[in-house]
Amino acid sequence: MLSLNPTLESYSPRFCQRIPHTILSVSDKTGITELAAGLHDAGFVLVASGGTAATLREHGLPVKDVSEITKFNEMLGGRVKTLHPAVHGGILARDNEQDRREMEANKFQFVDVVVCNLYPFRSTVANPNCTEEAAIENIDIGGVTLLRAAAKNHTRVSVLCDPSDYGNFLNKACTIQEHLRESSRSDRKLCGGGTPVSVQKHAHDHVLQILDPRRNLLPCRGGPQLVAQGVNEKCINT
């Protein structure tokens, strides 16, 4: 795909002192082990949520659990994994002195790459035997938040939500150590990932699937119900 992301041409001397980090949290695990292996070979620290971390470990890759950086275990049956300042501070932090000081004061790591795709709500509710509980559990909260945070800070953070982009991105990422050693400018953005618009669209499409009255299994109790940042049309029309 055509990317609007700037090419990673340089890293500032200050950033040469740190190791690049990536957060991986994917429902569709197509190509994730190859991507993670390439990022590891390029010098990235891999940080992943539960199921993604388990998949990477099965393939012998060194990976940190998200809980290692948040200092909190996943909770509520996996509903709360990445919703933590250590994760979102790392994604949203800008390259300025104030943000660097706050990151250092809190002992948070900068996150350079976010790899995330969302729960399969559409295919789940397409099953005629789908239950209300199954539909609700496939409403993604943490993943949508990861994508939107990374897209907001796209001038520093690269984000991947489409496995078809992995190969192109990996070709760029494999040159990161050379850039870290030789560059002196402040632009430190890897190209080859999703554009801010395409990433926001991926997140927005998930919300639209939830709002689709043809598929909606969510209950209507006492009139209109707000669901996933929008209005459940099925509730309004009853």
pLDDT tens-place string over residues 146-180? 988 988 888 888 888 888 888 888 877 666 555 54
**Which residues contact residue 204 at a Cβ distance below 8 angstroms, ignoring those fewer than 6 apart?**
none
In contact, 141 and 174? CB cutoff 8 Å: no
Check residue 236 and give its pLDDT: 35
d(CA 181, CA 165) in angstroms, rounded, equals 26
235 is a domain residue: no
Check residue 32 and give its pLDDT: 94
Query: pLDDT confidence of 225, banded at 50, 70, 90?
Result: very low
- Is a pLDDT exceeding 50 seen at residue 209? yes
220 is a domain residue: no
Question: 93-122, pLDDT tens digit by residue?
Answer: 988 889 889 888 998 989 989 999 887 877
Check residue 61 and give its pLDDT: 95
237 is a domain residue: no
189 is a domain residue: yes
84 is a domain residue: yes
Task: Please report, for the domain that includes residue 193, its CATH number.
Answer: 3.40.50.1380
pTM: 0.72
219 is a domain residue: no
Check residue 182 and give its pLDDT: 41
227 is a domain residue: no
Counting the structural domains of the chain, the total is: 1
Structural domain harbouring 74: 15-210
